């Protein structure tokens, strides 16, 4: 009896610990949408401080948070968060040879905010880290290609779709209004090429909506609802160039049309025709494993029927 009692007690303790751990697990949607400090809406160009006069202002490249103040206040390191494709990334900028710094670690700064001034005997410099320390030319290119950055939480309409959680959430200006179960392509992982039956990961926009009879040989599988997104996006296009699937001109067209929230190139080896739709009948995660489509996001038909009117064309869709 004592041994049986101890076994039952241990099982209960382990069960409670497992439940507590699950309860403490971070919410992927909230972690993505509400980072520890305000994300950058863009980066300013790299300043040329080589000929800066003493007393000239040294300004922050982007919104961020003070990570360190070094050398008795002569060097400031900022941490920046920014969205790129479906990821929330981090970068650091360091401003050295600065006098008059009054900021402290943890303080929030905004783009263009004065951090200090060029000292009379100092050699001012700005360096950038994004995964590693960037050279001067790499830093200038990094900043130039991120002059304007998305802020998903400020979108009037935003769909976040988690591959791992098999869940979709709709937000209106950062406020959650819908939460639904979803399924994905028959093959796991992010889409790479046409016909791989995978669902993409990335940032896209709704470009087309159709309700009723969907034309084509697979019309029965749409559940009477189709919400198309503009896959491929610029990051898919970069991958396509690297793989030899598309050329630089096609990449440029894809980037331009994606930024305009229009349909992008549909005839390359990257594939196309990605969106959200219903299904031919009832389905469950337990029976299907959530692996249903040829690459689209699948919803229960009653769910997409109720979602359809809440998602206007131009809505940002992040599959992560």
Pair 272, 265: CB distance under 8 Å: yes
3-state secondary structure 189-256: CECCCCCCCCECCEEEEEEEEEECCCCCCCHHHHCCEEEEECCCCHHHHHHHHHHCCCCHHHHHHHHH
Query: Any catalytic annotation for residue 104?
Result: no
Query: Any catalytic annotation for residue 300?
Result: no
Burial of 127 (0-12, 13-18, 19+ CB in 10 A): middle
Q: Which of 63, 86, 277, 300 is catalytic?
A: 277
Pair 272, 232: CB distance under 8 Å: yes
Strands 275-277 and 297-299 turn out to be parallel
Q: Which of 80, 86, 163, 296 is catalytic?
A: 296
Within 10 A of 117 (CB to CB), how many other CB atoms are there? 19
Q: List the 64-70 sheet strands across, edge first.
A: 108-109, 64-70, 75-84, 87-96, 125-129
Pair 62, 42: CB distance under 8 Å: yes
Which residues have a catalytic role annotated? Answer: 277, 296
């Amino acid at each position: 009896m004592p041994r049986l009692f101890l076994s039952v007690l241990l099982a209960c303790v382990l069960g409670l610990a497992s439940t507590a751990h699950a309860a403490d697990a971070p919410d992927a949607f909230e972690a993505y949408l509400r980072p520890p400090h305000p994300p950058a809406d863009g980066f300013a160009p790299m300043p040329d401080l080589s000929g800066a006069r003493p007393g000239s202002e040294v300004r922050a490249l982007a919104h961020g948070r003070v990570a360190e103040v070094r050398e008795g206040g002569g060097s400031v390191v900022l941490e920046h968060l920014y969205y790129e494709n479906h990821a929330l990334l981090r970068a650091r900028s360091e401003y050295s040879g600065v006098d008059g710094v009054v900021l402290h670690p943890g303080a929030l700064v905004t783009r263009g905010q004065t951090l200090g001034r060029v000292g009379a005997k100092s050699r001012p410099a700005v360096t950038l880290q994004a995964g590693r320390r960037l050279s001067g030319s790499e830093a200038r290119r990094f900043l130039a290609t991120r002059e304007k950055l998305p802020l998903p939480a400020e979108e009037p309409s935003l769909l976040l779709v988690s591959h791992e959680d098999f869940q979709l959430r709709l937000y209106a200006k950062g406020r959650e209004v819908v939460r639904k179960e979803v399924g994905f392509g028959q093959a796991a992982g992010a889409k790479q090429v046409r016909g791989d039956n995978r669902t993409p990961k990335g940032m896209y926009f709704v470009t087309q909506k159709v309700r009723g009879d969907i034309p084509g040989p697979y019309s029965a599988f749409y559940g009477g609802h189709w919400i198309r997104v503009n896959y491929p996006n610029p990051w898919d296009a970069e991958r396509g160039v690297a793989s030899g699937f598309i050329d630089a001109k096609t990449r440029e067209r894809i980037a331009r049309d994606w930024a305009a929230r229009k349909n992008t190139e549909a005839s390359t080896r990257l594939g196309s025709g990605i969106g959200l739709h219903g299904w031919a009948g009832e389905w469950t995660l337990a029976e299907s494993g959530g692996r249903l489509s040829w690459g689209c996001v699948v919803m229960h038909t009653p769910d997409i029927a109720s979602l359809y009117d809440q998602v206007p064309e131009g809505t940002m869709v992040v599959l992560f």
